[in-house]
Amino acid sequence: MKTSCVLPLCALALLPAVLGAPLAHADAGGDGDRVKRITLATVNSQGEFPNVTADLVDKRNRTVGFVTTNCETVASVPERTITCHGSYVLEDGQITWQNATRDPQTPYLLAITGGTGAYCEARGQIRVVSTESESGGGLYELEVITGRRCASS
């Protein structure tokens, strides 16, 4: 039985081109993308953590919107699993997020799943420094990447 080395050689010849090609999702600073860093704290929290809503204030203690969080807890073995989603409703649009964890100790990261208004096509992450249940309240550091400008309502 004869075997051919042509196909493996072709694959090897293409390897440098494939490895050298840029990853489309890894380019956070190109193609008109903008990175916006926002630090927000919560005040006037209502509800029972982790299912809460609270007002959001910026570094100057100015109210800029509100956050809503909804979580489901599953008594899984060996640890419980918590899956949460929510929205930061700001003056210029909304930022939606979600997270699943078995260890909700701060700090941890949330995935930005989308947005509206100034945050349409939003992606990135939110670093949860502290939550509403901790002394001092919630503190969140958002790193929002947005692309093209979207139509407003």
CB distance 115 to 121 below 8 Å: yes
55 falls in which pLDDT band (50, 70, 90)? very high
Structural domain contains residue 152:
no
Rounded mean pLDDT of 71-99? 92
Structural domain contains residue 141:
yes
The per-residue pLDDT for 30 is: 52
Structural domain contains residue 134:
yes
Structural domain contains residue 85:
yes
CB distance 118 to 134 below 8 Å: no
Beta strand pairing status for 93-101 and 139-146?
unpaired
Say if residue 46's pLDDT is above 70. yes
Number of domains in the chain: 1
Q: What domain range is 30 assigned to?
A: 24-146
Residue 133 sits in a domain of what CATH number? Answer: 2.40.480.10
* Residue among 25, 8, 132 at smallest CA distance from 71: 132
